């Protein structure tokens, strides 16, 4: 999905069929997209401090209580139509204190809890969030991993070495070059650089450390700055790849990296995501029925 620069028309790109679709979505006007999951978008309207779930295919809207956001560090656990849906956001109060706010659709207000960090945990808009195994995982700018358990209302910053950046990793805009996704209880982090091939890590819950991956097996990761997703239902050469939200050759190819062949496709393209607008696109699950595109 490509967020419009002007007007209300939004483009959707299908990397499997290599086809563009377009929808008029005035619901996204004057909004910032924060996150996507299960075919839903979570958007924020800065003028009114309103957070709204938007289903771009059915046009259904679900509003949350107002909340002023400093950064777009927001995630949700499931579709807002599910009783298990929890919205999570985190922001700093001081150098050592953070506030976590949570809310469920239908609630009258947000629940806010302050936590003091024993370890340095930098909260900025480029932190990465995923929901996995009933908990929210937050990867900080410096690579520390914070975990919030909404059932127990606990926050822990884990003492484990951060994922190692690739050699020759460019410090310019490096915060745009990492992505985090989850699949079936496992968490993956992708570090990219224009100088070297991507490096992928999996969080080993047993030893509480990051393990470098040489292959994803049957998994494919769709990486975007605001939200990344992992899937296992792709076939053939589309598996064991990382797909990025940059499309080339008039929609015929989106840039991807093959772990089997250890190279990008297509060749001779710019792979420095730091040069792109990180808020200009986001991956979203497709609709079950394509007739919504007309």
Q: How far apart are CA 229 and CA 112, in angstroms?
A: 28
Output the pLDDT for position 133. 94
Output the pLDDT for position 279. 80
What residues are paired with 211 via a beta bridge?
202
Q: How far apart are CA 100 and CA 105, in angstroms?
A: 17
Contact present, 71 and 123 (Cβ < 8 Å): yes
CATH 3.40.50.150, domain 31-159, yes or no = no
What are the residues whose beta carbons fall under 8 Å from the beta carbon of 268, sequence distance 6 or more?
Answer: none
Question: What Cα–Cα distance (Å) separates residue 40 from each residue in 30, 36, 61, 144, 271?
Answer: 18, 6, 10, 28, 28
Output the pLDDT for position 274. 62
Percent residues over pLDDT 90 in the chain: 50
Residue-wise pLDDT tens digits, 227-282: 999 999 888 888 999 999 888 766 577 889 999 999 988 887 666 666 677 788 99
Residue 44's nearest CA partner among 101, 98, 118 is: 101
Q: What is the pTM of this model?
A: 0.91
Output the pLDDT for position 175. 59
Q: With b meaning 16 or more CB within 10 Å and e meaning fewer, what string describes 221-239?
A: bbbbbbbbbbbeebeeeeb
The ranges of the chain with pLDDT < 50 are none
Residue 28's nearest CA partner among 18, 17, 1, 37 is: 1
Question: What Cα–Cα distance (Å) separates residue 68 from each residue in 86, 94, 138?
Answer: 17, 17, 20
Output the pLDDT for position 201. 93
Q: What are the boundaries of each domain within the chain?
A: 31-159, 162-294
Contact present, 137 and 228 (Cβ < 8 Å): no
Output the pLDDT for position 8. 87
Output the pLDDT for position 167. 62
Element (H, E) at 92: strand 87-92
Spatial strand order in the sheet of 61-63: 32-37, 40-45, 50-54, 61-63
Contact present, 1 and 284 (Cβ < 8 Å): yes
């Amino acid at each position: 999905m490509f967020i419009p620069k002007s007007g209300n028309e939004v483009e959707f790109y299908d990397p499997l069929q290599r086809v563009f679709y377009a929808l008029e979505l005035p619901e996204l006007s004057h909004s910032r997209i924060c996150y996507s999951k299960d075919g839903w978008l979570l958007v924020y309207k800065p003028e009114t401090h309103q957070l709204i779930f938007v289903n771009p295919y059915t046009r259904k809207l679900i509003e949350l209580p107002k909340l002023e956001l400093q950064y777009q560090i927001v995630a949700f656990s499931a579709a807002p139509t599910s009783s298990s849906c929890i919205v999570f956001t985190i922001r700093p109060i001081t150098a050592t204190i953070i506030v976590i706010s949570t809310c469920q659709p239908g609630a009258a207000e947000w629940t806010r809890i302050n936590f003091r960090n024993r370890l340095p945990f930098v909260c900025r808009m480029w932190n990465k969030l995923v929901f996995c195994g009933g908990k929210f995982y937050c990867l900080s700018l410096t690579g520390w991993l914070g975990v919030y358990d909404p059932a127990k209302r606990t926050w822990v910053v884990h003492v484990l070495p951060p994922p190692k950046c690739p050699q020759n990793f460019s410090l310019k805009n490096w915060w745009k070059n990492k992505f985090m996704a989850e699949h079936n209880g496992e968490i993956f982090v992708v570090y990219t650089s224009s100088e070297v091939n991507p490096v992928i890590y999996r969080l080993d819950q047993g030893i509480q450390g990051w393990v470098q991956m040489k292959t994803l097996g049957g998994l494919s990761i769709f990486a975007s700055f605001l939200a990344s997703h992992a899937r296992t239902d792709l076939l053939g050469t589309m598996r064991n790849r990382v797909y990025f939200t940059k499309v080339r050759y008039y929609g015929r190819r989106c840039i991807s990296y093959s772990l089997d062949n250890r190279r990008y496709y297509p060749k001779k393209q710019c792979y420095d995501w730091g040069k792109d607008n990180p808020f200009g696109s986001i991956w979203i699950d497709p609709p079950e029925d394509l007739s919504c595109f007309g």
